[in-house]
């Protein structure tokens, strides 16, 4: 198990934010809680939706409280005192998103909604656990859809954008022989023109997220409402590391990277004063030749490590996802700049002047995005 105290998780926020969805098969033991925290921090999630926590209110009251300030994140939980075996959802939010949370709305340990306010933009993040199809769950499913629908109606009326993450226990392919009622939640989101990000970014069809003795299914989803202000760049399915040489969960983790540049670019003046929120700018004029060389080396090393870990050495780069490679390049440049270049904190209302060459590069970057 990794020791988070030995690692410096940088508080410098990137506008490229990774959202994740995982069913954890229970989170009551401290060992499982610590394992999830390690995974959240070391995988650079900005948002992680957690389902099937089985946490009671007393269990969740102090979870991760000591780690919040140290690692610049917050955790939010919807717990249930009922006997439903798979209840309990949560959302972990990292800097900078957690600073924008204004409303926390848990519902019966089955849904959790966080309302985030940005300058002229409001976003609801919803985590949901939707039980498997069956007559015994029918009333429960109907109640959850009714509550979700009320939230979506409110969001539409009040100009909120919405992102929904959850274990839906629905696979349109593997469950094709099920009754139409089984797909009610998917039909609801499709009818409101939400985007299914795993399907949207997949060329060969979405990968499964749940594995069992007889095969696998796609049960976990990330959806966003029409016109969502943070474009989804790409999605992928990753594995949570084993715990004590055994699988931590029978689900894999669905991730989608969103670009929150437009949301985080400028904040309202009253919020800047109230929250003392700042942004980082790099002092290009005072950067030495040695620092530029260190920056170049750091970017090269980061890209080399990523490619070695993710791809075969003889891979044809023309076959790779352009969106994914562009995201990796931007992330490598940003992390290298933070490590090697001089920077300062300024107000979000600050307007920096650039050389003509840099102005052209910035314009090209915005065009490529």
Higher pLDDT, 354 or 10: 354
Tell me, what DSSP letter sits at residue 208?
P
pTM confidence score: 0.74
> Where residue 6 falls among pLDDT bands split at 50, 70, 90?
very low
Best CA proximity match to 48, nearest among 99, 8, 107, 94: 94
Is-contact 108 124, C-beta < 8 A? no
Mean pLDDT of 39-56: 94
Mean pLDDT, range 179-192, rounded to an integer:
89
134 pLDDT exceeds 90?
no
pLDDT digits (tens, 9 = 90+) for 316-366: 666 566 767 777 788 788 888 888 988 887 765 565 666 666 666 666 665
Token pair 């002047």 is at which residue?
Answer: 353
8 Å CB contact between 79 and 85 = no
pLDDT at 201: 78
Over the chain, what is the mean pLDDT?
84
pLDDT at 302: 82
Among 137-141, 146-150, 246-250, 287-291, the minimum mean pLDDT is found in: 137-141
Distances (CA, A) of 211 to 169, 217, 218, 226: 12, 7, 9, 31
Q: Say what the pLDDT of residue 335 is.
A: 81
Q: Domain 4-264: what homologous superfamily? A: Endonuclease/exonuclease/phosphatase (3.60.10.10)
Three-state SS at 242: coil
What's the DSSP call for residue 205?
A: -
Burial grade of 41 (CB within 10 A; 0-12, 13-18, 19 or more): buried
**pLDDT for res 114:** 98
Domain boundaries, the chain: 4-264, 269-368
Give the tokens for residue 3: 């020791």
CA–CA dist 340, 337 (Å, integer):
5
Please tell me what DSSP assigns to residue 139. H
- Predicted confidence band of residue 195 (pLDDT cuts 50, 70, 90): very high
Query: For residue 355, what pLDDT is reported?
Result: 67
The yes-or-no verdict on residue 29 having pLDDT over 60 is yes
Cis amide linkage into residue 96, ω under 30° from 0: yes
Summarised one tens digit per residue, pLDDT across range 218-245 is 999 999 999 999 989 889 999 999 999 9
Residue 14 is predicted with a pLDDT of 74
For residue 128, pLDDT beyond 50: yes
């Amino acid at each position: 198990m990794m020791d988070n105290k030995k690692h410096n998780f940088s508080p410098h926020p990137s506008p490229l934010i990774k959202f994740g969805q995982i069913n954890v098969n229970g989170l009551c033991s401290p060992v499982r809680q610590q394992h999830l925290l390690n995974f959240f921090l070391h995988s650079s999630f900005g948002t992680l939706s957690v389902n099937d926590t089985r946490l009671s209110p007393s269990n969740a009251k102090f979870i991760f409280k000591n780690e919040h300030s140290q690692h610049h994140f917050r955790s939010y939980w919807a717990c249930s005192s009922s006997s439903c075996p798979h209840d309990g959802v949560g959302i972990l939010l990292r800097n900078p998103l957690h600073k924008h949370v204004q409303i926390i709305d848990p519902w019966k340990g089955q849904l959790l909604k966080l309302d985030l306010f940005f300058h002229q933009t409001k976003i609801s993040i919803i985590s949901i656990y939707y039980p498997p199809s069956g007559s015994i769950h029918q009333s429960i499913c109907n109640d959850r859809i009714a509550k979700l629908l009320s939230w979506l109606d409110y969001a539409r009326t009040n100009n909120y954008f919405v992102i929904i993450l959850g274990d839906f226990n629905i696979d349109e392919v593997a469950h094709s022989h099920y009754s139409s009622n089984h797909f009610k939640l998917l039909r609801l989101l499709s009818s409101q023109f939400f985007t299914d990000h795993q399907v949207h970014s997949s060329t060969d069809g979405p990968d499964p997220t749940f594995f069992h003795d007889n095969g696998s299914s796609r049960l976990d989803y990330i959806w966003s409402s029409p016109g969502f202000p943070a474009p989804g760049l790409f999605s992928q399915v990753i594995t949570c590391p084993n715990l004590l040489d055994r699988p931590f969960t029978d689900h894999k983790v669905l991730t989608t990277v969103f670009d929150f540049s437009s949301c985080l670019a400028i904040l309202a003046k009253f919020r800047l004063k109230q929250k003392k929120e700042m942004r980082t700018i790099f002092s290009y004029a005072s950067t030495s030749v040695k620092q530029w060389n260190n920056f170049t080396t750091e970017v090269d090393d980061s890209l080399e490590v990523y490619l070695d870990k993710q791809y075969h050495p003889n891979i044809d780069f023309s076959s790779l996802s352009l969106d994914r490679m562009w995201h990796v390049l931007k992330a490598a440049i940003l992390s290298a700049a933070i490590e090697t270049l001089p920077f300062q904190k300024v107000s979000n209302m600050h307007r920096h002047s650039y050389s003509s060459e840099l102005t052209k590069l910035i314009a090209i970057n915005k065009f490529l995005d």
